[in-house]
Amino acid sequence: MGADLDRLVELLDLEPLEVNLFRGVSPADGRVRVFGGQVLAQALVAAARTVDADRHVHSLHSYFLRPGDPAVPIVFEVDRIRDGRSFATRRVVAIQHGRAIFNLQASFQVFEDGPDHADSMPDVVAPDTIARTDVRPPTAEARRLGAAAGEAGEAEPRDQPIDVRFVQGPHWAGRGAREPDQDVWMRADGALPDDPVVHASVVAYCSDLMLLGTSTLPHRGLVPDDDAGFMIASLDHAMWFHRRCRADEWLLYHCHSPSAAGARGFSRGEVFRPDGVLCVSIAQEGLVRPLSSGHPRDEPSEPNASRG
């Protein structure tokens, strides 16, 4: 594994404090808030640590309540709500400074046979035909340098644990509005352990990287600066794990936003394995507030910031 992926796997390896209590930390990468995908993935790991190994996550539903402080460890408290013969249910509360910043409810199931069908994967170009891209918009300095070089403001990707390839190109490369859809190839930047909990949690981490930003695509160009014209923050996030997948193999993330209203954007995502099989479905709603609306850019009550 690369150094950045090593650090991500370490972040997901929570420290057990007591029965049903775990502690996680955040990377020292200069963020002012904890990345929502990180606390989501860590909470999933905490829940999975309290169920039998033959039970695998099949769904989760979560709410982002307050901004996370990257400088302070996060305590995850797990409530073992139910252990049945086939299913186990867990509730997880992430706590900082004595207050809940995030909660998650997850359900785990033993493997069972049953009816099997799925939507087909979109017909898109292969990932090896697309340049690797940073999941974050370039800094203002990088945009100036790119524009000076005639490269439409693109820049070399910064260090990151996930290899990301935008099929339609990153949204910050152009200033115009476009349809609320994007397809993104993604995989961990190196080999991961075989533990299925690691792969599910890395997929959960990735699921928050670009989904919410899809809801802003039809509205880009309507604000002064396409990269910084919206305050974007996750509100809730749900995932359904239909089939196993490896996060260190190419996965196609198909994102679509059917609605944006009331300063909230709603997006759905589907994750497909390299063989074209649908493995995960995702839904997310988040704050999508134009900064020109008069609201302050940062408010203490807003939930965890999410990348768009």
Question: Catalytic pick from 38, 42, 182, 234?
Answer: 234
Q: Which tokens is 142 given?
A: 């990088």
Nearest Cα to Cα of residue 121 among 258, 247, 252? 252
The per-residue pLDDT for 301 is 43
Check 208, 226, 227, 248 and give the catalytic one.
208
Question: Which three-class secondary structure state does DSSP give residue 256?
Answer: strand
- Quickly list DSSP for 52-102: -TTEEEEEEEEEE-S---TTS-EEEEEEEEEE-SSEEEEEEEEEETTEEEE
CA pair distance 180, 110, nearest whole angstrom: 36
pLDDT at 67 over 90: yes
145 or 103, greater pLDDT: 103
pLDDT digits (tens, 9 = 90+) for 195-229: 999 999 999 999 999 899 899 899 876 544 444 57
Percent of the chain topping pLDDT 90: 69
pTM of the entire structure?
A: 0.88
Q: Are 265 and 244 in contact (CB under 8 A)?
A: no
Q: How confident is the model at residue 258 (pLDDT cuts 50, 70, 90)?
A: very high
**If you average pLDDT over residues 184-191, what whole number do you get?**
96
pLDDT at res. 223 = 47
Cβ 26 vs Cβ 19: under 8 Å: no
> Is 105 a residue of the active site?
no
Confidence check: pLDDT of 177 > 70:
yes
Verify whether residue 208 is a known catalytic residue. yes
